[in-house]
Structure 1
Amino acid sequence: MSGLENRAAEAPEGALPHAPAMILVRPQLAENIGAAARAMWNFGLWDLRLVAPRDGWPQGRAWAACSGAEGPLERARVFETTAEAVADLTHVYATTARDRDLHKASATPEEASRYGLARAKEGWRIGFLFGPERTGLENDDVERAAAICSVPVNPAFKSLNLAQCVLLTSYEWRRAAMAEGEELAAPPPEAPPPAPRAQIDALLSRMVEELDDSGFFWPEARRASVESSLRNALYRAPFTAGEAQLLFGVVDALARVRRSPNRKPG
């Protein structure tokens, strides 16, 4: 099934049809994975993804901690990198309480759920990133997201347990789904969904390749900041698959002109 097909066709019995992917990045404790799965299934969410779990997968302690919420654990998929885990998604939120200088829109779990659900009903695939227990998400992970999701906690104590954060986000998604009010009105159905993250990653790689070949990254010290800015810009803009393909063509055309033996200097 392709990344843009309706999530309702995949949802197991008893689950929400448009549930987002809940992505635990480098989780450290099996008990927290199990508790997160329990929180998800409490509210009908089922698409659990694990990025490089510290102690490998599967882990018996996760099943012991899930209190019967075995569906998300049995369906859990493991990825080596965050990029691979979000490759089929079209709109990703990074959950973090820390201030980030990445120029991304920020939303509460309630706001993110209302917007995400409306988009999911159009065919978008939504995901939430959750960082490891000790450190939270790294900037490289957050760069993969279109926006930040931040719980309005006590500013004097911002620390949330991983499963608590998953619980709050799952609850708000369930609330949005149950509301069925005008605030969830879908835009025109002919609006095409955004390109999947894998296509945007490929476009970024192609752009960097050509920029590198043209000497754009001189001096070399500016490479990291330029690549980071490009990644943020591409992930923030909801390009459709056709628009991303068009940009591929633009980059290829410019590259052919630059390499043409008949190109005039200047």
Structure 2
Amino acid sequence: MSGTNSELELITGGPVIVLVEPQLGENIGMVARAMANFGLSELRLVAPRDGWPSEKARAAASKADHVIDGAVVFDTLEAAISDLNFVYATTARMRDGFKPVRSPIVAAKTLKVKHDAGEKVGILFGREKSGLANDEVALADEIVTFPVNPAFASLNIAQAVLLMSYEWMKQSMESEDETLFAPTQQTPATKEQLFGFFEHIEEALDSRGFFRPVAKKPKIIDNLRAVWSRRALTHEEIRLLRGVVSSLDRFSRKNPRGAGNPEDFDD
């Protein structure tokens, strides 16, 4: 499936996701997919309306089978969270009570600190139509509320799980000082390589009459060099740019590379 790579090791673990009386298997499957996207893997279901296991959930999970296969069903919320040390209850509406209300960012930071300290943490999500009841929220340590449009605060359960899972992954990435899409390590270009590129492109431009009027040539060259020096080019980038200039030098629109040109070459 697009976006997946079976050769990479799955990121797993993180907070336990607890769904209280979820109604549709499709929604559970989409929750599993959202969890897998951001490295969460432990799913607990409290009295799912349509029973478990669910083929509809598996189909909607889009290959997040490790989450579906590991899901555990409980009869009560108390049983589902009995082994957890710290729990957030999610809600999109204001609640009367004495529990601290956190943003998703603060909640994710708190969960990461506690998780790294060896505590078992979880996040509660309520029913598709009505969310969590007050007595269920009362079982949590704190509340996390999403900053949504107050006139349209309806999130489906998979969206809510996705938001929290994303914030969790962000915290994990920041704490390890890494990104998911870290660039391949490249070698910074030396000044000698950069100066060589300057000479290469300036000669190519000069031979085509680019520097007009001639009196302004030094200023134009200064401006060009300022542009190319704006960021630290790498050795690989310099090679690529010089390859571009060489190609423009050797070939034209009417006589392109690969069209039987006697000057055709392979790098």
Q: TM-score, normalised by structure 2?
A: 0.62
Match of 1:136 among 123, 131, 143: 131
Match of 1:34 in 2: 29
Match of 2:174 in 1: 179
Distance 1:129 1:68 in 2: 24
Map Cα deviations across residues 123-152 of structure 1 (whole Å, 9 max, x no partner).
111100000101100011101100001110
Distance 1:180 1:23 in 2: 25
Map Cα deviations across residues 98-134 of structure 1 (whole Å, 9 max, x no partner).
2211210011111101111011111111100000101
Give the letter aligned to residue 87 of structure 1: S
Match of 2:155 among 143, 148, 160: 160
Percent identity over the alignment is 51
Q: What does 1:50-69 align with in structure 2 at a 5 Å threshold?
A: 50-69=45-64
Distance 1:179 1:130 in 2: 25
Check if 1:146 corresponds to 2:163: no
In structure 1, stretches of 5+ residues that fail to align are 1-12, 183-266
Map Cα deviations across residues 219-244 of structure 1 (whole Å, 9 max, x no partner).
xxxxxxxxxxxxxxxxxxxxxxxxxx
Distance 2:97 2:123 in 1: 17
Q: Secondary structure at the match of 2:123?
A: strand
Q: What does 1:8-27 align with in structure 2 at a 5 Å threshold?
A: 14-17=10-13, 19-27=14-22
Distance 1:75 1:15 in 2: 14
Match of 1:85 in 2: 80
Q: Secondary structure at the match of 2:17?
A: strand
Distance 1:59 1:181 in 2: 36
Which protein has greater RCO, CA pairs closer than 8 Å, 6+ apart? 1
When residues 71 and 16 of structure 1 are mapped into structure 2, their CA distance, relative to the original with a 3 A threshold, is closer
Map Cα deviations across residues 31-70 of structure 1 (whole Å, 9 max, x no partner).
0000000000000100000000001100110001001011
Paired residues in the alignment total: 169
Give the letter aligned to residue 15 of structure 1: I
Distance 2:48 2:66 in 1: 19
Distance 2:75 2:51 in 1: 11
Distance 1:24 1:15 in 2: 21
Distance 2:97 2:20 in 1: 19
Match of 1:46 in 2: 41
Q: Secondary structure at the match of 1:129?
A: strand
- Structure 1 vs Structure 2 CA RMSD: 1.2
Q: Secondary structure at the match of 1:152?
A: coil
Match of 1:97 in 2: 92
Match of 2:255 in 1: none
Q: Secondary structure at the match of 2:48?
A: coil
Q: TM-score, normalised by structure 1?
A: 0.62
Distance 2:104 2:16 in 1: 14
Distance 2:103 2:52 in 1: 31
Q: CA deviation at 1:181?
A: 6.6
